[in-house]
C-alpha cells in the first residue's frame, strides 16, 4: 500500500497575514519587505496582485516599485508569522503526528496511519484546507502523493487555494512535462548543467540513464533520477516542537559596502561572536565553519571547511571564517552582505577525539572568557563589551546579529 503524503503551503504567507490585520489592503498590490534605510530593502513576500506585476521574492524594493508604482510595502512582523505558523501546525497535528515543517509556511504530513478515519489523501487535504481558511483566515495549496517530492510538486502545481493529487495513474502525464527546475533541490546550478545536457523537463531526467547522470553529477545524479521517478522513500519526520539544530548562523547586509580586508574582519568578528554565543546558549558545538558573501553586483559565493576540533569559541570561528574569505574573495567588487555559519552540530558534552597538537588549556581559558562575556552582555546588553576593532567603525558594528534575526520564507533560498 502506498503512503499518503501531503504537502501544505500557505499562500503568500507573510502578505496574507498582514492583509488579515489590514483588510483595506486586500485588493491592492502588497509586499512585505525589509528596512531600506538599513539596506535590507528586499521583497520577502508578496500577494498575488503584486505577483501579477512580475514582482519576485528576493528582488530589491526599488526594482519592485519600478514594476508597480502603487506597491504597498509593509515591514515584517515575525512574531505574527510565527504565531500563525504555530496555529497551522496545530491544525495539521489534529490529522497526524507525522508533521515535518519546511520553513514557517510549509509542512509535509504523512496521513497513512490515519487513513481509516480521515479517508483518502484528497479527503484529508480538503478538510485541512477548509479548517485553515475558516480558523486562520488564510488559504493553503496542498499536494497529495505517495512521496514527499511529488507532494511538494503538487502544492506548487496550482495556486492559490488549490489541491492537486499526483497518483500512480496520472504522474507521468502531469509531472513529466514540467520544467526540470520545478523539482525540489534542482537549483540554479543543477538546472544550468542539466540543460547543457539537453535535460529540460522532469520527464527527460526521469528517463535518463542513471550511470550517465552519475558521471556528470556524482551521487546526486542517482538522487535526482530517483526524485524525478517518484522513488523518494524519505519518511516524514514525527513532529517535535524542539527540532534538532542542524546549524547556527547569522548574516547581515552591511550598513555600507566593505572595501578592504580589515572591514571584513570587523564584520566577521561581530557575526562570529553572535554565532558563538548562540552555540553556547544552546549547549552545542560545531565541526564545520562556513561563510556566505555577496558583493555589490549581487554575485555571491559560499565556502566551508571542516575543523580539527568541534568548537563554540568565538576566536576559532572568526579565524576560520576570515581564512575562508581571504582564500576565496578576489575583490572584483565591494562586499554588500556577509554571513557566518557553523554546522555539523554535536552536544557540547559529547566526548570527542582531541588533537595532540592543540593546547587544550588555552582553549579552555578562551571558552571561559567567552562565557564571562556572554554573562555580561546578557545582563547589560550586547554592546556592553566589544572588541577594539569594533570601536574603529561604530556604524559597521551597530548591528546586533544575535538579537536582530531575520526569518526568510523558504522560497527565498530556492
Task: Catalogue the active-site residues.
Answer: 106
CB-side neighbour CA atoms (13 Å) of 52: 8
* Ramachandran angles phi, psi of 43, nearest 5°: -80, 115
SS3 of the chain: the string is CCCCEEEEEECCHHHHHHHHHCHHHCCCCEEEECCHHHCCCEEEEECHHHHCCCCCCCCEHHHHHHHCCCCEEECCCHHHHHHHHHHHHHHHHCCCCCEEECCCCEEEEECHHHHHHHCCHHHHHHHHHHHHHHHHCCCEEEEEECCHHHHHHHHHHCCCCCEEECCCCCHHHHHCCCEHHHCCCCCHHHHHHHHHCCCCEHHHHHHCCHHHHHHHHCHHHHHHHHHHCCCCCCCCCCCCCCCCCCEEEEEEEEEEEECCHHHHHHHHHHHHHHHHHHHHHHCEEEEEEEEEEEECCCCEEEEEEEEEEEECCHHHHHHHHHHHHHHHCCCCCCEEEEEEEEEEEEECCCCCCCCCCCCHHHHHHHHHHHHHHHHHHHHHCCCCCCCHHHHHCCCCCCCCCCCCCCCCCHHHHC
d(CA 277, CA 85): 27
Residues 168-190: b if buried by 16+ CB within 10 A, e if exposed: eeebeebbbebebbebbebeeeb
Q: What angle is formed at CA 387 by the lines to CA 384 and CA 392, rounded to 5 degrees?
A: 105
The rounded Cα 386 to chain-centroid distance in angstroms is 30
204 neighbors 178 (Cβ within 8 angstroms): no
d(CA 47, CA 343): 34
Q: What cell was used for 384?
A: 556592553
Amino acid at each position: 500500500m502506498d503512503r499518503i503524503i501531503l504537502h501544505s503551503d500557505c499562500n503568500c504567507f507573510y502578505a496574507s497575514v498582514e492583509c488579515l490585520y489590514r483588510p483595506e489592503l486586500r485588493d491592492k498590490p502588497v509586499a512585505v519587505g525589509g528596512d531600506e534605510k538599513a539596506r535590507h530593502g528586499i521583497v520577502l513576500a508578496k500577494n498575488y496582485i503584486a505577483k501579477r506585476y512580475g514582482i519576485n521574492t528576493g528582488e530589491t524594493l526599488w526594482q519592485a516599485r519600478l514594476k508597480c508604482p502603487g506597491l504597498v510595502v509593509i515591514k515584517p512582523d515575525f512574531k505574527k508569522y510565527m504565531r500563525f505558523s504555530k496555529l497551522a501546525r496545530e491544525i495539521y497535528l489534529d490529522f497526524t503526528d507525522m508533521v515535518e515543517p519546511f520553513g514557517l509556511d510549509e509542512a509535509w504530513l504523512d496521513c497513512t496511519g490515519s487513513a481509516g478515519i480521515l479517508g483518502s489523501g484528497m479527503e484529508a487535504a480538503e478538510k485541512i484546507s477548509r479548517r485553515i481558511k475558516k480558523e486562520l483566515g488564510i488559504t493553503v495549496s496542498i499536494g497529495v502523493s505517495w512521496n514527499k517530492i511529488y507532494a511538494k510538486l503538487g502544492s506548487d502545481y496550482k495556486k492559490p487555494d488549490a489541491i492537486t493529487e499526483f497518483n500512480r495513474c496520472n504522474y507521468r502525464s502531469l509531472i513529466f512535462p514540467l520544467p526540470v527546475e520545478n523539482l525540489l533541490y534542482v537549483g540554479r546550478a543543477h538546472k544550468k548543467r542539466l540543460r547543457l545536457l539537453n535535460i529540460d523537463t522532469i520527464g527527460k531526467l526521469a528517463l535518463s540513464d542513471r550511470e550517465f547522470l552519475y558521471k556528470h553529477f556524482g551521487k546526486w545524479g542517482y538522487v535526482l533520477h530517483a526524485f524525478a521517478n517518484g522513488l523518494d522513500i524519505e519518511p516524514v519526520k514525527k513532529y517535535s516542537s524542539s527540532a534538532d539544530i542542524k546549524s547556527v548562523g547569522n548574516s547581515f547586509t552591511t550598513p555600507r559596502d566593505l572595501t578592504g580586508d580589515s572591514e571584513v574582519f570587523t564584520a566577521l568578528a561581530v557575526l562570529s561572536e553572535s554565532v558563538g554565543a548562540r552555540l553556547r546558549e544552546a549547549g552545542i558545538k560545531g565541526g564545520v565553519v562556513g561563510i556566505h558573501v555577496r558583493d555589490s553586483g549581487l554575485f555571491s559565493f559560499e565556502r566551508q571547511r571542516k575543523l580539527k576540533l568541534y568548537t563554540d569559541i568565538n576566536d576559532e570561528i572568526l579565524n576560520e571564517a576570515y581564512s575562508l574569505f581571504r582564500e576565496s574573495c578576489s575583490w572584483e567588487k565591494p562586499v554588500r552582505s556577509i554571513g557566518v555559519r557553523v554546522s555539523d552540530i554535536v552536544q557540547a558534552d559529547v566526548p570527542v577525539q582531541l588533537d595532540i597538537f592543540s593546547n587544550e588549556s588555552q582553549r579552555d581559558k578562551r571558552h571561559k572568557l567567552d562565557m564571562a562575556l556572554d554573562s555580561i552582555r546578557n545582563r547589560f546588553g550586547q554592546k556592553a563589551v566589544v572588541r577594539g576593532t569594533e570601536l574603529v567603525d561604530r556604524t559597521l558594528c551597530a548591528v546586533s546579529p544575535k538579537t536582530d534575526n531575520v526569518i526568510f520564507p523558504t522560497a527565498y533560498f530556492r
